[in-house]
Amino acid sequence: MTVWRRLREAILSPAGRLSFRVGALLGLTALSQGCGFGILLLCGNVLGPDGLGLFLFALGVQGFLVLFASGGLGTVAVREVGRRLAEADPAGADAATTAYLLLVCASSALAHGVVAVAVALTPCSAEERAVLFWMLAGNVVGAVSLLPLFDARHRQLRPAFVTVLVDVATLAAFAAVAVAGGLTPPVAMALLAAKWVAIAVGHLALLAALAPLRWDYRPAVVRAFLRPGPRLLLAGFLVLVPLSGGVVVTRLLRTPADAAVIGLATQIALVHTTAWWQVSRILQPHILGPHGEEAWFVRRLAAGVAAALAGLTVALAGAAAVVFLWLLPPEYRDALLPTGLLLVAATEWGVAAVVWAYLVRRHREGAIMAGYLAGAVVYVPAAMAGTVALGPVGAAAASALAAAATLAVLVGFLRRPIPA
């Protein structure tokens, strides 16, 4: 009886509840990423290297647009909304929510509008233009992420269920279209656009049921978001350049087939980054909370982060070997080495994400920007020279170097004493 009582107490303890949420969120993320793998396999086998390269190029652009739509405000929203909820100030939480939604909707409309004009004015094939316009049509809605508002309330699992349901439906739609012989790059992107819109609508309905949205515009709260926002936006952009920029650089400097190779490797690395981002969503409110600097919490956090990142990296390396050796045509096997290098980079960025949260806690957004700027400074010349000389391998190696530079600078700032 004593053993069962201890087990029950362990499960219901704060650490037990945190472990359950992390495990459940990782499980749901694994299901979503499994659906993404299925879509990738279908596209790789049906679209061919050139079509797949075009599809993955558009997804690379989409990643940058998601970042610009967020305005760098996701972590700030977790901090500001969560703080007001902890202080039992629902009106203040409404004001912070209003400021966040107002800013991200405006930045999403602006970013997608600028790219739409650029696509319309740039000479390209009709197929490429169709792929990019479908991406823009779905992403302008899907890029307005409501997840920080769930994170601030420690309700990360609910939107994850919605996402999994939509992902399963999307995979089924891809399979049906592929069997019917109608899967082309524009059709594939149209299906993804429908998925992004469906997830956004589902999350909005769920958030409205969880916490009714009340408009409360306060200029002072908007300014509180705008101060750190641009610095975090720039930092996020500088993260994405080494992570997804290899597809763009390779497409410009090498062949479409090379772009498909680095694009496949990038998609697997993005699975790593997405999974770790989900874990970070659980960890951030605790890091930003009252116990974030306490020694016992830091020790447990460091041990858990090391074990989780190691397991995730090894699992994805094994999955990549299976995908490239047995599930995709032989012409994609050249993606194995770039995938390994990008997984090393993703592991380094995983550690950097934890350091990022601590620097936000200490209001050192400028230090975050400096760290990722250092990575970009390393990446740009290394990627250009490496891609010309070694193709996808050189682009991936540049990402690993950039991630190491970023992590070194961020840790250096974190070790500085907290200002009085």
Residue after which a domain boundary falls, among 196, 227, 258: 227
157-161: list long-range contacts, CB under 8 Å, 24+ apart.
157/21, 157/24, 157/25, 157/28, 158/206, 158/210, 159/202, 159/203, 159/206, 159/207, 160/24, 160/25, 160/28, 160/29, 160/32, 160/278, 161/28
In this prediction, the residues of the chain whose per-residue pLDDT falls under 50 are 1, 7, 10-12
Give pLDDT tens digits for 284-298: 777 877 888 888 889
194 and 238 co-located in one domain: no
Q: How many helices (H) and strands (E) in the chain?
A: 16, 0
Closest CA to 104 of 137, 133, 72, 136: 72
Task: Give CA–CA dist 78/105, Å, rounded.
Answer: 17
Backbone angles phi, psi at 363, to 5 degrees: 60, 40
Token representation of residue 97? 């929510």
CB 217 within 8 Å of CB 225: no
Q: What is the pLDDT of residues 139-152, one digit of tens each?
A: 999 988 898 999 88
Written as one letter, the residue type at 127 is E
Write down the pLDDT at residue 412.
94
- Whether 278 maps to a domain, the answer reads yes
Distances in Å between the Cα of 383 and the Cα atoms of 50, 56, 343 are: 22, 18, 16
Closest by CA to 107, choosing from 226, 244, 278, is 226
Judge if 249 and 384 occupy the same domain: yes
Q: Among 227, 245, 269, identify where a domain stops.
A: 227
13 falls within a domain: no
Residue 48 counted as domain residue: yes
Taking the CB of residue 392, how many other CB atoms lie within 10 A of it?
31
- Total tally of structural domains belonging to the chain: 2
Under 8 Å CB-to-CB from 237, ≥6 apart: which residues? 64, 67, 68
Q: Rounded distance, CA 386 to CA 394, Å?
A: 4
List the domain range (segments joined by +) for residue 341: 228-420
**What's the one-letter identity of residue 183?**
L
Last residue of a domain, one of 227, 247, 264: 227
Q: Are residues 43 and 57 in the same domain?
A: yes
> Tell me, what's the pLDDT at 418?
64
Question: 1 lies in a domain?
Answer: no
| Whether residue 85 sits in one domain with residue 38 | yes
Structure tokens given for 239:
């993260």
Residue 115 sits in the same domain as residue 194: yes
Q: What are φ and ψ of residue 158, in 5° steps?
A: -60, -50
If asked whether residues 166 and 249 sit together in one domain, one would say no
Q: Check whether residue 176 and residue 313 sit in a common domain.
A: no
Helix, strand, coil shares of the chain, percent, nearest 5, are 85, 0, 15
Residue 37 lies in a domain: yes
Nearest-angstrom CA–CA distance, 128 and 118: 13
Let me know if residue 17 belongs to a domain: no
In a domain, 19, yes or no: no
Helices (H), 227-329: 229-253, 256-287, 295-322
Q: Does residue 135 sit in the same domain as residue 260?
A: no
Do 216 and 236 fall into the same domain? Answer: no
CA 38 to chain CA centroid, Å, is 19
Q: Are residues 175 and 324 in the same domain?
A: no
Q: Are residues 365 and 241 in the same domain?
A: yes
My answer on whether 215 and 275 are in the same domain is no
Phi, psi of 197, deg, nearest 5: -65, -45
Q: Looking at residue 18, what is its pLDDT?
A: 63
| Sign of CA pseudo-dihedral 235, 230, 283, 64 | negative
Residue 414 lies in a domain: yes
For residue 401, give both structure tokens: 């170097």
Task: Provide the token pair at 219.
Answer: 């200029």
